[in-house]
Structure 1
């Protein structure tokens, strides 16, 4: 199932939602392609969805969920990608 949270996350002068699948990345990529989202909107395990695209995503079949539910379902599916840690450079 494709899930979308509310567009709460500010960036680039607008708000963004997260679009995920709790079944497969293939399902997510296919859904995003049907919407016309560019590949650059994909980040590890989700697409950043601009607020002006939210209604289109829901009309296309994405299920609106609370952000906490979205993360829980992504983790339970095994598709949650851990954040990459950046190496800290210190000089001693």
Structure 2
């Protein structure tokens, strides 16, 4: 099981965020997120949003640190990339 996380560089709600992804399956991703104690609301279609304070825990549990560009490449390569729907 390998999960990937990009650096916490995405602002929102007064903090910085990372993206946690799998290159295998959503089941693997959800299982890892559960081990971290991430709430379901942190899942955003094809990744989990991880607050900067939990970044180290993700890495400690085995998430591999990669660039944001690599996160997207991994999702596309695995066929797991889901585009966000536009809000009207």
Q: Please name the residue that 1:90 is paired with.
A: none
Task: Extract structure 1 runs of 4+ deviating beyond 6 A.
Answer: none
TM-score, normalised with respect to structure 1? 0.91
| Structure number with larger C-alpha Rg | 1
Measure how far apart 1:23 and its partner are.
Answer: 0.4
Structure 2: gaps spanning 5 or more residues = none
Q: Please name the residue that 1:71 is paired with.
A: 72
* 1:52-86 CA-partner distances (Å, limit 9, x unpaired): 00000000000000100110011110000122133
CA separation in 2, counterparts of 1:79 and 1:69? 14
Q: Please name the residue that 2:56 is paired with.
A: 55
* 1:36-60 CA-partner distances (Å, limit 9, x unpaired): 0000000100000000000000000
CA separation in 2, counterparts of 1:32 and 1:83? 20
Paired residues in the alignment total: 87
TM-score, normalised with respect to structure 2? 0.95
